[in-house]
Structure formats: structure tokens, C-alpha cells
Amino acid sequence: MSRAPARRRGPLHLVVAAAATCALTVTSVAPQAAAEAGRPYTETYRPQFHFSPAKNWMNDPNGLVWFKGEYHLFYQYNPSGNTWGNMSWGHAVSRDLVHWRELPLAIPHDDKEMVFSGSAVVDRDNTTGFGTKDDPAMVAVYTSHFKDGSRQAQSLAYSTDRGRTWTKYAGNPVLDIGSKDFRDPKVQWYAPTRSWLMTVSLSAEHKVRFYSSKNLKTWTQLSDFGPRNAVGGVWECPDLFPLPVDGDPRRVKWVLVVNINPGGIAGGSAAQYFVGDFDGKRFTADDDGSYTPPPGAVAQDFEGADYGTWRTTGTAFGDGPVPAPEPGTSGTSGVEGRGFADSFHGGDAETGTLTSPPFTVDSAYLNFKVAGGRHPHVPGSVTGDSPAPPGKVLAGFEQGGYGSWTTTGTAFGDGPAAGTLPGQNPVTGQDGDGLVNSFLGGDAATGTLTSPEFALTAKYVNFLIGGGRHPSGTDTPTAVRLVVDGRTVRSATGSDSEELNWASWDVGDLVGRTAHIEVVDQNTGGWGHILLDQVMQSDTPARPRSTETAVNLLIDGEVVRSETGTDSGSLDWASFDLRAYQGKQATIQIVDMNKSGWGHILADRFVAADRPAIPGVRRASWVDHGKDYYAAVSWENAPDGKRRMIGWMNNWQYGNDIPTSPWRSAQSIPREMALRTVNGRLRLTQQPVSTVESLYTGTAVGVRDVKIAEGSTPLAGGRADGRALDIRATFSPGDARRFGLTVRTGEGQKTVIGYDTETEELYVDRTRSGAVDFHDDFPGVQRAPLTARNGKVELRVLVDWSSVEVFGGAGETVITDQIFPSPDNDGIRLFAEGGSARLDRAEVRQVRSYRD
């Protein structure tokens, strides 16, 4: 299930990152037009052939089972709102895995517990006594997340009417080990021992545990698996199932899927998998997880009593390295040797640097281990204090009232706040005594604060900003807007921090225009407030103060390479490519300028080497390389014996912020899974279920033998354009460096689905896919290895109104990403870069809504 617990986190309102600013001239699309409110399932971003609930929040798929002609899809659901909370089990059914019917709420939360993720089985032998052998009960095995925060435990609910109504078992919980991080049971019938098998996650320990039971009520512990491979976040939603290798039923391997958050291959949430054997008690992976990094010259291993020639500033790093903890005694792991650098001296509030002496770059790579907070280096930021550049102050908020600024609502009160408000964590970083602070009365208060009109006379508008990260383009913003002629032309939001930091708008193109500033707080949830101070015009942009926790490589005093942690205490290998800096003088600097949750950095064993070290996240096997495929689990009891899987099509980095309403989140297309030998290695492959073809409408658009010159051209002269498509295409690379398709193209927007011949990677670029500015972690490029077969690159692409799912080759590589383009942008184009390629053949089918 759900959200990662934090190691060494401070209070909620102390998480710090750089302020997010954006230009909004053409980027954001409003979450939904008011005219659409009465037209369900036709909203701008509503998926047409992926399941989404009519309204409210949804995340992990749960309870996947086939029974009496129906595939059941339960899911984590908030019956009361459009963001995470009040976790209960929603319910939908299908006879073919593409036509879904949403049913009433299945298992609701109550005063004592939220109903977290789990599974469902058909108790055909009536082992529980909940039904009969002639009329077996469906039994849900779910995690009770007790609202008092004491623990998570496994519980039962049962249904005797095909899952329409449910009764919680009076003897709950049935498995309780007193842990706060014990969740997401996947239960199945294990025929060799005629018993139930539970696969469940010890989330914070990066372990999966196996239990056995004869009646689903009394459980016996069998074994543990892990930690192994990617451990940058908590382990959640495990699944275990057998598959024949290359279709041979005489050769069967087991697949263990472990979802991780954060620490995925593309950042944030993801699903990794292991291939191995299961003997009824223990899972043994074929890959033992061992790794030996490339040899080289050790520059620093932190094995001494002090830092030697490395020098410190501030107090974060203390007088010397920290002793490695005993295994399992803390949240720190992966230390090489006896000691490591850790800036948690005294807590997250401490800051400082640890810097190597200068050295001459004479190796190709610098390898090292890193962990700690995820606070990247921001180019242009200042280590230490950052004074305001000279300019004209528009508002310093030092007076008793707001002067000619006007308010609505209750959030901003009658005048500026004198710092921290009651119930708020300490506010820092303001200039002077007063500031705008919409925490008046708590996060539930809303309102606006609007300046009088003023002339833009300088190239930049600088200001200090803090508070919640809810961008202007979302439906519940906490944002500062620059408005010209009634239109928002620039905006900024906080970064879930009570520390104000400098931000700047480049308004050079608007000089001479009249504008006003609008401060908006429409958010009533966590971090539902905004901080603002020292608004000024200047010919120089303000430089933000550094809030990084990072390992940096400096050449001539400038940061040229940087690596941060993943909000994890598990040290893992990282590498700086030094080949462009041979012969230059360099220094290594470990920086902690963050005072909030995860405001620390861990580092160990710097080695100059000829080859890069490979981090565990890249050594792991991934079900999907995209940003938006998580909590992947498979159906039990399918009548044809095939294994089909589905995942939550979202990411915890920005899941609550995607610009959809009145629902939030969809599930992926169900996928048929297989184990195949690819390049000498067993790979989990997947293809969309064949029944998606029942949604085809119209005739196929097919093309053959098209040369793709450098540049781009419409596919099939525009006859294949559309918003919901199934595309199959085979390419010959030619001499192009990159080639492929762009979809949902138009008005400066496009989603790029390409192949890089130099790196042999499939990629999806959604940096210009439409609304991308609602969260800093959303825009980006996702990559996955894909080897051309017989000189050909085969792609299958499912395009829906707010997603792309790209299957490469025989399904050995998959990238799933959400996109939020303008509804009129429906073009498909072919492109090639650095040469020409050839489209051997393509077929495009329009896909209708499963609700039609």
C-alpha cells in the first residue's frame, strides 16, 4: 500500500526543497472545465479504456481474483475525497478485463482502522467456515492500518454474494507481529501442501515474509527474502507466482514482484522483480544480489579517526567519520568498512560542508556510495546567506496592515503575520519581522490577497516564498501569480517548507505592461498555506539559498557533477563521469544545507576507477521503466491458467497533484505475463490483454515502407491521428541516432516515443506533453534498455486521453507514463534525428471507451 515511512524525518511542516517557479503562458490546462461537471467520463483527461472510478481518489489494485465468470478488481479508495485518505476497498468487475463495471464500496474504513492493500481468494474447500463447499465464500485478506498509529496487522473480511457485500471477521486481526510496517498480503492456494500461502511485506526492513495457513486464520512463519537489489525506499505490495520458461510447462520458474517507493528506476514508485525457485517454504533468487564495483585508487574511505586532509565547515559533519552501525540496528545500511560520513550530527537542523583537497583528474570515473535526503543541487543557488539584489521593493509586509492590498476569505487575516502562527512549525527565512502567512487558523483556511496594479519596470520580479507545494495550475493551489490583462502569466508555489527562499520571474518581455500580484490559498489539506515576503523589482535575479544534501564535483569552483540521496538510509553506488575533465584540478564537496526532514547526507568510499560503478537501482530487474506503474499485482484463479497483472498508473511523487477531477488516478491496461529468454537472460515480458481489440472502432490505418528523413512528418498523412489509439510499428534504424513517433502532438505539445541507437534504449519524453508544471518531478525522460532484433525495433503503443504505455520488442521492455495534453492535440508524427530511418510497417487502430 501507499506511502513511505521516513527515516529521521522531522515534523511534516519541515520538509524543505527549492521553491518551484514556472512560466504559464501556454502550459497549464485547468483541471476540468465547469461545463463538464455534469458529463461524467468525458472530462478532459478521463481515460477511455483504462479503469478509473467515477469520482474520488484511487491507488493500489487489491483483491484480484476470478470468480463465477467475473474478474474482480478491488482497489484502495477514498470514498470522501480526491486525494489520499480514508483508505477503503473500492470495487469493479469485468468479464473480459477491459469492460469494467464499478460497484458500490466494498470494505469501508471505520473508527479504528483504514483498510490497506491485500488480496482475495475463493475458499473452495471452506477452510474458514465462512461459506460452504457448494457455495464458497470470497475472502479478502487485507492490512488493518490502525488509526492510533500503533501497528499494521493482517485481517479478514468475507462475502457470500459474489463480492457485493462484505463482513469483517470478528476475530481480526489474524496475523499481528506488533509492527508499524507490516502490510499488503498476497494470498494464494499452494496445492503441493494443500495450504494457503501468504506473501507479505516487512516494508521498512526491505524484506518479504512467507507464511502458511490451513484456514486463513492461523498462520505459521516460513521464511524471509531480502534485502536485495533496489532498497532505496520501502518494499510494498509483493506478489509471487509461477510461470513456464519460454512456454515450456516442464520448466517452471517463480517470479517475486516487489514494489518499491521511492527508489524506482525512473524516480519515485516502481515495481521490481526477481526470478528464482520456490520450494513451498523459501524463495531463492537465481541472482544472489552480490556486486563487486570496479577496482581503483581509493581517494577517501572514512576509515580513520578523523577526516585527514578533508576540511569541514559548519557543524553537520562533526570532527570525523561515524562508525558503521551493526546490521539491523538502525536505518542505515550499505556502509563499506568501519566508518562513513554522515551529516546527521545533532539532527537534520545542522548544516555544513565536507571538502576534499584539490586533486588532478586522471581517471575516467569517480565512484562512491551515497544516501540520505533527496534535495538536489540547484544550479545558481548560494551556499549560505543570499542577500537580495538591489531593486525597488513593492511590498515588504512590515506595516500593520496590507495597505492597498485586498483580501478575500479568512486565510490572510487583516495584515501581515509576525512570523510563526499558532500551531505552525517555525517559519524562517523572511526579511524583517512581517510576512504574508495564510496559516491563520490552520491549513483549513482559504482566501486570496491581491496587490494594486503596478507597472513592470525591471527585468525581474524577485520574492521570498515558502509554504505548500500546490501549483497554480492545480484545482487547490497555494501559489503566487503575476496577472496581466486578467491572465496569469507567471506563477510560483512553495516546496512544502516553512523556510522562505528566493524565487524570480523573468519578465523582460513584459516590461512596460501593467500587472498585479495575486496570492492564492485554496487548499485545505496538508501544507495548505502559502508564505510570501519582500516582493521587489530588480534588473538582477535573486539567487536562492542552497537547500541541497548532495555530493558535488567542483571544477574551477563550479559544480559540474552532483548526486543526492533518495530519502533513504541505504548507501548505494553512484558514479561521476570525469572523462571531460582530464588534467583539470577538482575538489569533492559533500554538502548539507538542509534543515528539515531528511536534511542530511551520507557518503562513503570514493574510488577513482576506469569504469563506472552500477547502483542497485540499475542492477535490479524492473517490471516497467516508466514513472507511472506501481503496486503491480496479478489475478488469481483465472480460468485459462494465464497470469495477468495490473498496476496503479500514478506515482507517489506527484500522485495527489495530477490535474484531474472529480477522480484522481487510473489503473494500467491488464497485461499477460510470460517468462522468456532474452539475450541469454530470463526476462519477465508482458503484452496488453488481447481483449483490448474488442474496443477497436473504425478501420485500421496501415502504412508500409516509409523513409523517415531527418526531421518529422505526419504518420499516414494525418489519417491515423487520435486521442485513444493502439499503434503497432516496426522500424529499421538506418543511420539515425534517434527515431520513433510523437503522439498527442499539436500547439507546441508532444509526447516523444523514441529509440536511441547509440545507447540501445527505448525512451519516452513527456517534457512537452501538455500540463507538466503541477509538480517538479513530473516532466522528464524515461529510458529502458531494448536491443534491436534482426536489425528491427518493434513497438506497440497504447495511447489514452491521459497516458501512454509503450511495449518494446516482445514485451521485454515497457514504459508507462501519464500525460496531460490539450484535448485538441491528437496528431501522430514520425521523426528521425542525426540521420534517416525507415518505418517498415505500422497499423493504427482507434480505441473507443469501454463504457460505450
Residue count (the chain): 852
List Cβ neighbours of 290 (8 Å cut-off, separation of 6 or more).
Answer: none
Closest CA to 753 of 711, 776, 781: 781
List Cβ neighbours of 292 (8 Å cut-off, separation of 6 or more).
Answer: none
Distance CA 20, CA 481 (A): 12
> DSSP 3-state assignment of 83?
coil
- Rounded to 10 degrees, the C-alpha dihedral 725/271/648/750 comes to -40
| 223 CB burial (10 A radius; 0-12, 13-18, 19+) | middle
Q: What are phi and psi of 186, to 5 degrees?
A: -110, 115
Q: What are phi and psi of 73, to 5 degrees?
A: -120, 105
End-to-end Cα separation, the chain, in angstroms = 32
Closest CA to 423 of 489, 327, 498: 498
Q: Which residue type is seen at 786?
A: L
Cell 526470478: give the residue. Answer: 275
Q: How many CB atoms lie within 10 A of CB 85?
A: 17
Give, in order, the Cα–Cα distances in Å from 466 to each of 11, 15, 663.
16, 11, 28
Distance CA 771, CA 29 (A): 6
- Residue 27 and residue 702 in contact, taking contact as beta carbons nearer than 8 Å: no
Q: Tell me the catalytic residues.
A: 60
List Cβ neighbours of 473 (8 Å cut-off, separation of 6 or more).
Answer: 24, 27, 28, 29, 30, 31, 491, 659, 771, 773, 774
Q: Which residue type is seen at 241?
A: F
Q: How many CB atoms lie within 10 A of CB 787?
A: 13
Closest CA to 122 of 110, 111, 130: 130
Q: Name the DSSP class of 325.
A: P
> Which H helix or E strand runs over 454?
strand 454-455
> Which stretches of 401-456 are DSSP H helices?
none
- Residue 182 and residue 203 in contact, taking contact as beta carbons nearer than 8 Å: yes
Cell 518581455: give the residue. Answer: 509
Distance CA 387, CA 409 (A): 33
Q: What are phi and psi of 692, to 5 degrees?
A: -60, -25
| All three cell numbers of 492 | 510560483
Angle CA 633–638–641, to nearest 5: 105
Distance CA 477, CA 325 (A): 43
Distance CA 130, CA 120 (A): 14
> DSSP 3-state assignment of 704?
strand
Distance CA 38, CA 42 (A): 10
In sequence order, what E strands does 581-620 have? 585-592, 601-609
Closest CA to 478 of 664, 660, 663, 657: 657
> Which H helix or E strand runs over 712?
strand 711-714
| All three cell numbers of 699 | 478501420
Angle CA 544–545–546, to nearest 5: 115
Which residues on adjacent β-strands are paired with residue 103? 91
> Which H helix or E strand runs over 572?
strand 568-577
